[in-house]
Amino acid sequence: MLQPIPTRIYRITHLTNLPDTLRHGIFCRNRPAPVTAAYQNIGDASLTDRRNRIAVPLPPGGVLNDYVPFYLGPRSPMLYRIGKHAPQSEIIYLLSNVQHVQQLGLPYVFTDGHAFEILTSFHQSPADLANLAWADIYADQWKPTLQNPNLQRHKQAEFLVHQFVPVNALVGIAVLNDHIRTQVEQIVQQAGLALPVREVPAWYY
């Protein structure tokens, strides 16, 4: 599979976080955000803490928690784990694409696999995107095999935007079903924005 153009990036969040996100943008873990309603964290707290100890070896440097993380493909293992304990319908996708981030001049790095893994490399050159394992990143089934032991690692490749993602970096929102789409469209309208909202059940488990 070739690199998709435009190259979408995918961030999942809880529906209750959307009004504040559309008001203020997305802040990295290590950058103080404005006082907002209670934020509903969907990540594993132990993994989030570990991200504060993993250095990013390219400028602007820092640690993983100095960046806003996006996946490079949908149906992440993280979403699968969330779905084992909570309704997936309450999880929404915030969408952008690499080319739009570049146009806005936002500093970024990206990985060719799970950022925790020793085999994973960090990159910054747009040309390196073409060399990622796109078939693995977009795979529906991601259990490693003897033929492809790196499948799950590749599936979790990340696009990391330094510190902050403004609202104008978003190009759309994806949801599981019509009920959630209606709620999200109302939130977007109340925020005075024109972001498209689409039902994409294929991006869920």
Provide the b/e sequence for 119-145 (b: ≥16 CB within 10 Å). Answer: ebebbeeeeebeebbbebbbbeebeee
Catalytic sites, residue numbers: 51, 158
51 belongs to an annotated ligand binding site: yes
188: left (phi over 0), alpha (psi -120 to 50) or beta: alpha
* Residue boundaries of the structural domains of the chain: 8-203
Q: Residues of the chain with pLDDT > 70: what percent?
A: 99
**pLDDT tens-digit series, residues 86-113:** 889 999 999 999 999 999 999 999 999 9
The pLDDT, as a whole number, for residue 86 is 83
DSSP 169: G
pLDDT, tens digit (0-9, with 9 covering 90-100), for 24-63: 999 999 987 776 667 888 877 777 789 999 999 999 999 9
**How long is the chain?**
205
B/e letters for 2-19, b = 16+ CB within 10 Å, e = fewer, are eeeeebbbbbbbebebbe
The response to whether 12 counts as a known ligand-binding position is yes
Q: What angle do CA 84, 51, 114 make, to 5 degrees?
A: 65
**Annotated binding-site residue? 13:** yes
Triad 99, 105, 108: Cα angle to 5°: 75
pTM, two decimals, is 0.94
